């Protein structure tokens, strides 16, 4: 399965249903363990970001508060509420930004030389 495309599809469906164009898919061992669109507009809850909802679902399903060895696919800039402000906390995002000529800065992280 193309997890990036799945993330895009969830976001597109959310927009069609009146939501915002953000989504998250969490994968572990090649399987989707959680997925969610951003539900802020639908619920009026400012914490109902796709990342937060998917992380909650994944942790509940896996019975843990740690998502070690999981990959989090996010459509949009990762929400600063979902990671520590450490550059190494979002390796995939950082590398994607570098590969695409983006600035090597994550919310709250210092700029590397």
Known catalytic residues are 51
**C-alpha to C-alpha distance for 33 and 13, rounded to whole angstroms:** 19
| Cα Rg of the chain, angstroms | 14
**In sequence order, what DSSP letters do the residues of 11-39 get, joined into one string?**
HHHHHHTT--S-EEEEEETTEEEEEEE--
């Amino acid at each position: 399965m193309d997890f990036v495309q799945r993330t895009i599809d969830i976001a597109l469906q959310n927009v069609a249903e009146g939501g915002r164009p953000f989504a998250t898919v969490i994968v572990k061992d090649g399987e989707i363990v959680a997925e969610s669109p951003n539900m802020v507009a639908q619920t009026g809850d400012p914490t109902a970001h796709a990342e937060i909802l998917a992380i909650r679902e994944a942790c509940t399903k896996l019975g843990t508060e740690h998502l070690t060895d999981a990959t989090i696919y996010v459509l949009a800039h990762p929400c600063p509420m979902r990671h520590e402000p450490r550059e190494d906390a979002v390796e995939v995002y950082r590398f994607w930004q570098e590969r695409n000529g983006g600035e090597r800065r994550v919310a709250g992280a210092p700029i590397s030389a």
